[in-house]
Amino acid sequence: MLRRVVLHSPLDPVAIATRLRDTLGGRKDKPKKGVTGQGDEQTMMLFVYRGYGEATGTRFDAVMHPDDGGGTRIEGRFGLARGMACGLILWCGFLSIFLFTGIAICANGGAWEVGVPFVAISSLMMIVPVGLWWFGTRYSADDEAAIRQFLADTVQAL
């Protein structure tokens, strides 16, 4: 799910930021389908936009450093947005409290009418984050290839 990569571009960070700005547009522009995102002289964030919200999709978050031999070293990672991954983990963690409470009630001879709803409802509510994770990562290999191709074409990053 999370893959760290190191790329090298023969361009300097300012030229990369200029090319990204020219290709992707400004922050106020409506995103077009395909690879989009934002970047400056130090960071970049790219993802594949399909015409609907992509908060759960694969992103490329990177930091750029000038390389000693000329050019730019791009250190980044492919994966879910950190906020999205944290949200999914916290949601499942919160629901697991109710799940384990229901299991404890049933296992210790409590009323099944009380324990079973705890287990059933929290289990059903865990389907949502699993579905979001699946929906966001089902195109991850295609998204990573598209972003790598975009970087190769735009900033000659290999």
Domain ranges within the chain, ordered by starting residue: 3-80+139-155, 84-132
Q: CA-to-CA distance for 47 and 50, rounded, in angstroms?
A: 10
| Class of the domain covering 3-80+139-155 | alpha beta
Q: Return the higher-pLDDT residue of 91 and 54.
A: 91
| pLDDT value at 4 more than 70 | yes
CA distances from 143 to 42, 57, 116, 130 (A): 23, 8, 41, 20
| Closest among 18, 16, 58, 51 to 34, alpha carbons compared | 51
Would you call 57 helix, strand, or coil by DSSP?
A: coil
What digits encode the pLDDT tens for the residues 22-46?
888 766 666 677 888 888 888 888 8
Tokens standing for 50?
């399909």
Q: Say if CB 100 and CB 112 are below 8 A apart.
A: no
Residue 121 has what DSSP assignment?
H
Percent residues over pLDDT 70 in the chain: 93
What pTM was computed for the model? 0.76
CB-facing half-sphere around the CA of 143: CA atoms within 13 A: 26
Cα dihedral 74, 77, 81, 87 in deg (nearest 10): -140
| pLDDT value at 97 more than 90 | yes
CB-facing half-sphere around the CA of 5: CA atoms within 13 A: 20
How far the first Cα of the chain sits from its last, in Å, is: 21
| Closest among 139, 141, 43 to 149, alpha carbons compared | 141
What digits encode the pLDDT tens for the residues 111-130?
888 889 999 999 999 998 88
Q: What is the pLDDT of residue 15?
A: 87
Q: CA-to-CA distance for 20 and 150, rounded, in angstroms?
A: 10
Q: What is the pLDDT of residue 54?
A: 61
| pLDDT value at 1 more than 70 | no
